[in-house]
A and B are shown apart, each in its own frame.
Chain A
Amino acid sequence: EPEVTQTPSHQVTQMGQEVILRCVPISNHLYFYWYRQILGQKVEFLVSFYNNEISEKSEIFDDQFSVERPDGSNFTLKIRSTKLEDSAMYFCASSREGGYGYTFGSGTRLTVV
């Protein structure tokens, strides 16, 4: 069964450093998403991406965050200057249709120290 692949599975970074989280969505999917889950809290929407542009973003997704699909297969989330409160599990997801039939990756656990 096709999978969404995320790398790395765990990343530790120092406060103020830039991080890039990587995802390989399912190949025939057209919509891409990032969600995050702070430990003990709900899964929260960050951003959706379609046709090489952001289609929707939440209030969490401020200027510190950016997304890119650099080469037609990878989908990345960049956090420019990490804060302690950015520590969370970050999930990438993709779907063939908008908002329907999501497949989630296994997540990247980001720890900011």
Chain B
Amino acid sequence: KQEVTQIPAALSVPEGENLVLNCSFTDSAIYNLQWFRQDPGKGLTSLLLIQSSQREQTSGRLNASLDKSSGRSTLYIAASQPGDSATYLCAVRGSNDYKLSFGAGTTVTVRA
């Protein structure tokens, strides 16, 4: 069974600092990995999707890397802003099914 772990559980930084969020997974036989953002009481917004054959994906200030063999992904958020405050979830899809296995998330607070 795929287990997804996210470290740290919470992070508080001053505005302008770069954020580094870590995700690890136990089964390297994945099809893709996604990073989501969740605001309190709201749904999940997809940020980046990395296919298993890719090493990284970028969108604006966000960059996600994937090292499938070591079972790790890292989400970098450059020059953080208070609007980046949210919970960030990592989710992996296995190679033999369509479901996503989620980590517990990292809750980010960016202080103005």
Question: Which residues of A are interface residues toward B (Cβ below 8 A)?
Answer: 31, 33, 35, 41-45, 48, 55-56, 58, 91, 93, 95, 98-107, 109
Contacts and interface: CB of A to CB of B under 8 A. Distances in A.
Contact of B44 (A41, A48, A91): A91
B102 interface: yes
A97 to B, nearest CB: 9
A102 B98 CA distance: 10
9 contacts: A43-B44, A45-B100, A55-B98, A56-B97, A58-B99, A91-B44, A95-B98, A104-B36, A104-B43
B98 A98 contact: yes
Contacts of A100: 31-32, 49, 93
Contacts of A35: 100
A83 to B, nearest CB: 23
B44 A104 contact: yes
Contacts of A103: 46
Main secondary structure, interface of A, reads strand
Interface string B72-111: 0000000000000000010101000111111111000000
A51 to B, nearest CB: 13
B63 interface: no
Interface residues of B, number: 24
B65 interface: no
Contact of B99 (A45, A104, A107): A45
B99 A99 contact: yes
A102 B102 contact: no
B98 A106 contact: no
B102 A99 contact: no
B34 interface: yes
Given A91-B43, A100-B32, A105-B43, A56 B104 contact: no
Contact of A102 (B42, B97, B100): B100
Contacts of A41: 104
